Amino acid sequence: MASLFGTGMVADSFVVAFRLPNLMRRLFGEGTLSAAFVPTYTEVLTKGERRRGWRLATAIGLYLLLLLAVIVLIGILGAPFYMKLFVWGWRSDPAKLSLTIRLAQLLFPYLIFVGLAALAMGILNSHHRFFVPALTPVVLNLFWIMGAIVLGGFFAHNLKERAFWMGGGILIGGLFQFLIQVPLIFKVGYKPVTPLSPRNELVVRVGKLMVPGIFGLAVSEINYLVDTFLASLLPAGSVAALQYGNRLMLLPLGIFGVSLATASLPAMSQSVAKGDIKGLTTTLSRSLRGIFFFILPASSFFVFLRYPLVRLLFQRGAFSSSLSTPMTAYALGFYSLGLFAYGGVKVVVQAFYSLKDTKTPVKVGALAMGANIVLSVILMQYLKLGGLALATALAAMLNLGGLLFLLQKKIGDIEGGKIFSSFGKVVLASLLAGGFSWVTYRLVQRILGIVSPSAQLLVLAAGLSVGGGVYFFLSWVFKLEERESLRLRSLF
């Protein structure tokens, strides 16, 4: 996308158009659905009532499909109205606004496919099947690339048409995200059964758990809407640059944060179902320390090496060195400061969900949202798009701190001393590793230069290798038990 669209008008429009379907996906898909369904479904399985569990899954799938169909219809028909408010700063550019509306109407049906895929993922995770569900984003990306490069390359006559072909690839990818999980669902024992009534206690419980969860995630997602609204008031390309920086920042979060958080929910739910609060806190502590151990050094490398990283990964085609690279690197540096908090929130929220408490994350998230809005308005006056990214990072830190404080009040000791001791050591090791990586990068850069992509790769690899070596050496010096990653095996 960076090569094809850079940070131009089409890139801005596509990012905004895809943001609302993605927001709805998180609200009604893998976010709240998993949080409400997995603990209830796991509890039924723990009692040995497998057939009842399948009836619950069938019911949730049917009612979810009906709900998403209604949302998609509203999203398509209402696009010309809500989009004018969503990107207020584009009112003076009718062509850009019109393109955004049409792309949003194309992309909204993606919500149905990815919602069903999220339910399938929840079922399989409850049966401790993680590998295939974890591959579903890869399927989406493959079709995304196919739509942009293959279909768009053959049939599109300009960048706008190519964006529509790329959107078609996303729709197909969303469908296959669901379809590739279906065989495994039957493999773990599913048989077509009569769905439970909408008034059944289990269905009602899932619904009641979803409602506050939706509001909780809505609080978080409103931050992205606010960022988009405010970014539309900044110079052209700001929306796309924020998206590129955010996507890079999400790479380590997706590899380590999401995987640990996803695996921790069934484990913590089982502990709660058995009345084993100690098991819950042990899983929580290991997950948090594991996330900090892997994500904090990544955050440090993103801050110290943000320009060469963006240049190597994105700077080609329409992604210019004079505008796109500096804007994206600027956003990435500020976003990365809160990377550990984004990952930590995902795990701590799962602990509340396993306790069937979806209200507390809503309250803390609302406070963080308010802080984000205030900070965004203030900081963008001085730091432009960097202020929006920094405000998001600071709000995530506030969210994590509030959740940990309230969880400890709720269940008692959460191994806080062990968590914070490990956190402090990892922060120090990460900062030193980042500093060594930057010094190495600068030294090798002077020797080789950075003209060709291969030279850029070699210089960057040298910096990251030295930084990585320093980090793992210091983790041994500090006696961090998380360095023995095999200890985290039970979470996968």
Q: Check residues 191 and 470 and name the one with the higher pLDDT.
A: 470
What gap in Å lies between CA 115 and CA 119, rounded to an integer? 7
Q: Could you tell me the two tokens for 201?
A: 């206690």
Q: Does any domain span residue 171?
A: yes
Q: Report the SS3 class of residue 191.
A: coil
- The secondary structure of 145-171 as a DSSP string is HIIIIIIHHHH-SSHHHHHHHHHHHHH
Output the pTM of the full model.
0.81
Q: Which of 412, 403, 418, 419 is nearest to 278 (CA)?
A: 412
Q: Does any domain span residue 28?
A: yes
Q: Could you tell me the two tokens for 296?
A: 């904090």
Give residues with Cβ within 8 angstroms of 52, minimum separation 6.
Answer: 44, 196, 202
pLDDT(28) > 90? no
Give residues with Cβ within 8 angstroms of 107, minimum separation 6.
Answer: 17, 18, 21, 167, 170, 171
pLDDT given for residue 461 in this prediction: 94
Q: Does any domain span residue 257?
A: no
pLDDT in tens, 324-378: 999 999 999 999 999 999 999 988 988 988 888 878 888 898 899 899 999 999 9
What gap in Å lies between CA 468 and CA 252, rounded to an integer? 14
Residue 181 carries which side chain, given as an amino acid letter? Answer: Q
pLDDT given for residue 35 in this prediction: 72
pLDDT given for residue 140 in this prediction: 92
pLDDT given for residue 383 in this prediction: 95
Q: Once rounded to an integer, what is the mean pLDDT over residues 178-197?
A: 90
Asked if 51 and 190 count as a contact pair (C-beta separation under 8 A), the reply is no
Query: E strand or H helix at 483, and its extent?
Result: none
How many folded domains does the chain comprise?
1
- The least confident of 12-16, 174-178, 414-418 is 414-418
415 φψ region: left (φ > 0), alpha (ψ -120 to 50), beta (else): left
CA distances from 142 to 111, 168, 251, 255 (A): 18, 12, 16, 18
406 φ, ψ (degrees, to nearest 5): -75, -30
What gap in Å lies between CA 19 and CA 108, rounded to an integer? 10
Q: What percent of the chain has pLDDT over 70?
A: 95
pLDDT given for residue 46 in this prediction: 83
pLDDT(480) > 90? no
Domain that residue 102 falls in: 1-206
pLDDT in tens, 268-299: 888 888 888 888 898 899 889 989 999 999 99
pLDDT in tens, 390-411: 999 999 999 999 999 999 999 9
Q: Does any domain span residue 110?
A: yes
Q: Which of 284, 283, 326 is nearest to 306 (CA)?
A: 326
Q: Once rounded to an integer, what is the mean pLDDT over residues 433-461?
A: 88
Q: Once rounded to an integer, what is the mean pLDDT over residues 254-263?
A: 78
What gap in Å lies between CA 443 and CA 248, rounded to an integer? 25
Q: Once rounded to an integer, what is the mean pLDDT over residues 127-153?
A: 90
CA distances from 365 to 88, 207, 349, 426 (A): 25, 20, 10, 26
Q: Check residues 222 and 11 and name the one with the higher pLDDT.
A: 11
- Show the 3-state SS of 320-378: CCCCHHHHHHHHHHHHHCCHHHHHHHHHHHHHHHHCCCCHHHHHHHHHHHHHHHHHHHH
* pLDDT tier at 487, thresholds 50, 70, 90: very low
pLDDT(165) > 90? yes
Q: Does any domain span residue 382?
A: no
317 φ, ψ (degrees, to nearest 5): 60, -125
* pLDDT tier at 488, thresholds 50, 70, 90: very low
* pLDDT tier at 486, thresholds 50, 70, 90: very low
Q: Does any domain span residue 387?
A: no
Longest dimension (CA), the chain: 71
pLDDT(48) > 50? yes
Q: Once rounded to an integer, what is the mean pLDDT over residues 74-89?
A: 91
The alpha carbon dihedral of 465, 485, 256, 431 has a sign of negative
Q: Which of 178, 170, 172 is nearest to 135 (CA)?
A: 178
Count of other CB atoms within 10 angstroms of residue 462: 18
pLDDT given for residue 490 in this prediction: 40
The three-point CA angle 77-82-86 to 5° equals 145
What gap in Å lies between CA 210 and CA 200, rounded to an integer? 15
What gap in Å lies between CA 164 and CA 153, rounded to an integer? 12
Q: Could you tell me the two tokens for 162?
A: 């190519």
Q: Once rounded to an integer, what is the mean pLDDT over residues 118-131?
A: 88
Q: Does any domain span residue 438?
A: no
Q: Does any domain span residue 410?
A: no
What gap in Å lies between CA 26 and CA 257, rounded to an integer? 16
pLDDT(99) > 80? yes
